[in-house]
Amino acid sequence: MQGLSHVHAIRKTLTFLFLTVALLMITSSFAANAQPHTSTPFAGTKANTGTVIHSKEGKKNILTLSDDFKTPDTPDPH
């Protein structure tokens, strides 16, 4: 019977660790969605002002251009 209780204790420990890791992953994914990210100012010969802000609304990724962004007079970047 000693071996059976040892197996039960290991199973309970592994279950606890799995649930802890799952909870941490879920919590960090919610925290990542709450904070918008702002780029550094655009730099180049034709584009040297403005930034972009990345945020999430549900499952959608949203990019918002700053008010001082100027569209460069160049071909579309890829």
pLDDT digits (tens, 9 = 90+) for 43-75: 777 766 788 888 888 788 888 988 888 777 777
All structural domains of the chain with their residue ranges: 1-35, 36-78
- Element (DSSP H or E) covering residue 21: helix 2-34
Q: Please list, in sequence order, all residues whose beta carbon lies within 8 angstroms of the beta carbon of residue 47, skipping any fewer than 6 positions away.
A: 70, 72, 74
pLDDT-above-70 percentage for the chain: 76
The whole-model pTM stands at 0.45
| Rg (the chain; Cα; Å) | 24
User: At 20, phi and psi to the nearest 5?
Assistant: -65, -45
Residue keyed to tokens 């799952």: 22
Question: From the CB of residue 76, how many other CB atoms can be counted at a distance below 10 Å?
Answer: 5
